[in-house]
Amino acid sequence: MKYRTLGRTGWNVSAVSMGCWGIGGQWGPVEEKQAVDTIRAALDAGVNLFDTADAYGMGQSEFYTGKALKAVRSEVYIATKAGNWGRRYNDAPQLNSIYSIINCCHASLYRLGTDYIDLYQCHVGTPEHPEIFVEAFELLKKEGKIREYAISTNDLNSLIALDARGGCASCQINYSILNRGAEKDILPYCREHNIGVLLRGPIAQGLLVDKFTAETRFDDIVRQKWNPDGNQREDFLEKLEKVAALRRLVPEGSSMLDLALQFVLANPAVTCPIPGMKTPEQARSNAAAADGELDEATLKAIDEICAPAG
């Protein structure tokens, strides 16, 4: 495993880290043993940053993450988020006071079984009152409940607002071969201002693992939009065509997964992708992708299929 510095924090984090949304149950059921075994397999492969959120399975992901990491708590970085609790169930939280965010933090600390969170993130992409998050985060940091704070967004103005006091350590950005919009403004901004970048969606919700076809049907609540009666069916089929073209670029002895993760790692603004992992096998294969890199010819060929943001 290779390691990279997370922006202003000075932390050395694994070049491929673990996204823990998948073990929250919203991508299909995951038992506790499977979740714990997956996290421990990632640990064994050199992963040292684990990203979760209170909204992932309504706390289930945080509970599993905390349990799996309890014995090595001081050796890892735990990132979690506040602001989306219950949103997928049409019960969005009221975020009109710093105390609502502070209460969310206390609840996350309890579920994680820890007395501090390394990286606490705003989980609202375009917060109506970003100053409330900043004030709450600064207070939590002063109290030692969190070490650093951040935001998960692709909106540059929201990132700037969260960094109003110069304390936003990182930004979690949705970015992949199939979704390159962040190259236009937010990724260059993060690089210029030494803001760490965690990447969600680096394998495009599984599309870039190259295991789906037009006949694939999805049962999870996240990807039902791609089914024949879903509102993003056409987009799904167009992306399948691009994946088929990308398949020809995979070097011998490598995989589409490697291509996807090594592509995002080639961007100088990126600290680490945080692909989802639901099994020990997925944890090991995701982590192994950090060991390789794409040559310039392959990167240029990718640009021909999936054009850079302009």
**What is the pLDDT at residue 215?**
87
Among the listed residues 31, 32, 37, 2, the one whose alpha carbon sits nearest the alpha carbon of residue 17: 2
The pLDDT tens digits along the chain (310 residues) read 999 999 999 999 999 999 999 998 777 789 999 999 999 999 999 999 999 999 999 899 999 999 999 999 999 999 999 988 766 666 566 677 899 999 999 999 999 999 999 999 999 999 999 999 999 999 999 999 999 999 999 999 999 999 999 999 999 999 999 999 999 999 999 999 999 999 999 999 889 998 888 889 988 878 889 988 888 999 999 999 999 999 999 988 899 999 999 999 999 999 999 999 999 999 999 999 999 999 999 999 999 999 998 6
- The answer to whether residue 310 is domain-embedded is no
Decide if 89 is catalytic. no
In a domain, 112, yes or no: yes
In terms of pTM, does the model score above 0.85?
Answer: yes
Is residue 301 a part of any domain in this protein?
yes
Q: Which CATH number characterizes residue 101's domain? A: 3.20.20.100
Give residue 164's domain range.
3-205+252-305
Q: Report the 10 Å Cβ neighbour count for 125.
A: 16
Residue 291: which H helix or E strand, with range? Answer: none
Q: For residues 268 and 201, what is the distance between their CA atoms, to the nearest angstrom?
A: 18
Q: Looking at the 3D structure of the chain, how many domains does it have?
A: 1
Residue with tokens 């639901």: 278
229 part of a folded domain: no
91: helix, strand or coil:
coil
In a domain, 277, yes or no: yes
Does 265 map to a domain? yes
Q: CB of 32 within 8 A of CB of 1?
A: no
Domain annotation covers residue 214: no
Residue 238 lies in a domain: no
Alpha carbons 302 and 289: distance in angstroms, whole number: 17
Catalytic residue among 3, 56, 99, 120: 56
Do the bridges between strand 117-122 and strand 146-152 make them parallel or antiparallel, or are there none, so unpaired? parallel
